[in-house]
Chains A and B, each alone.
Chain A
Amino acid sequence: SGVGTLSGSYVAPKAIWLPAMKAKGLEISGTFTRQVGSISMDLQLTNKALQVMTDFAIQFNRNSFGLAPAAPLQVHAPLSPNQTVEISLPLNTVGSVMKMEPLNNLQVAVKNNIDVFYFSTLYPLHILFVEDGKMDRQMFLATWKDIPNENEAQFQIRDCPLNAEAVSSRLQSSNIFTVAKRNVEGQDMLYQSLKLTNGIWVLAELRIQPGNPSFTHLQLSLKCRAPEVSQHVYQAYETILKN
């Protein structure tokens, strides 16, 4: 499984995004991170060809949240056959926006001295959860009431290995903030908020039902003015709470 970082959100283990056989010997694996407000794409490039690779560059297609490289792809020396290099590519969210299907799809082009290669990957939405995503309590209540019921989506998260306290602190390290907490008939109810880099707010009610001593069942209700993000926010909750 992946690793949590000291001051950042959950980081998935690197996955192969471009197999060598599809890219004339260039293999790319990677993952996404968010640490203290900085998003990066952490890449591992391996040369499985018989010739040296040079002149690397990377470009993203337009995407739903304007993710774009914030610097050129820096491969400091030619990549020899069988050599691997690790690169952290800083990203920003001020690139061109085009709604993708699925919403978190990212199309990438990488070039080197041999050719240009293309691949697609999906990024976890929690890399877009900003540090100032804690909504004021009064604003939360007003917004919760204001967002119509048809914009509410409900999800189940079964067998979560954390209690209410740990759930709240784990989520906070990924910029999902608990605005209020209540206990009703033995269930903890957390009211939470998060904000995406493009300013979209998501409000959540997380109902925590004690299961057996080591697991809890969670019911997540999400309210958002852009309800197409809810499915991806739910996936972020699952990932953060189960890893």
Chain B
Amino acid sequence: ELDDGLDEAFSRLAQSRTNP
């Protein structure tokens, strides 16, 4: 699967929202 960086971006978003 081509890693378009979006998976990682969503992980960072979720992480930042949980631990701002």
Residues on A lying within 8 angstroms of B by beta carbon are: 137-138, 141, 144, 180, 182, 184-185, 187, 189, 191, 205, 207, 221
What's the Cα separation between A131 and B13 when bound, in Å? 26
Q: Which residue of A lies closest to B9 (CB)?
A: A141
1-20 of chain B: CB within 8 A of chain A: 4, 6, 9-11, 13-15, 17-18
Q: Is the CB of A184 within 8 A of B10?
A: no
Contacts of B4 in A (CB 8 A): 138
Contacts of B13 in A (CB 8 A): 141, 144, 182, 191
Contacts of A205 in B (CB 8 A): 17
A145 to chain B, nearest CB (A): 9
Say whether chain A's binding surface is mostly helix, strand, loop, or mixed: strand
A123 to chain B, nearest CB (A): 32
Cross-chain contact of B10 among A180, A187, A207, A221 (Cβ < 8 A)? A180
What's the Cα separation between A180 and B10 when bound, in Å? 7
Residues on B lying within 8 angstroms of A by beta carbon are: 4, 6, 9-11, 13-15, 17-18
Contacts of B18 in A (CB 8 A): 184-185, 187, 189
Contacts of B9 in A (CB 8 A): 141
Q: Is the CB of A182 within 8 A of B10?
A: yes
A137 to chain B, nearest CB (A): 5
Contacts of A189 in B (CB 8 A): 14, 17-18
What's the Cα separation between A207 and B17 when bound, in Å? 10
What's the Cα separation between A160 and B11 when bound, in Å? 25
A21 to chain B, nearest CB (A): 52
B1 to chain A, nearest CB (A): 14
Q: Which residue of B lies closest to A183 (CB)?
A: B14
Q: Which residue of A lies closest to B7 (CB)?
A: A180
What's the Cα separation between A180 and B17 when bound, in Å? 14
Q: Is the CB of A184 within 8 A of B6?
A: no
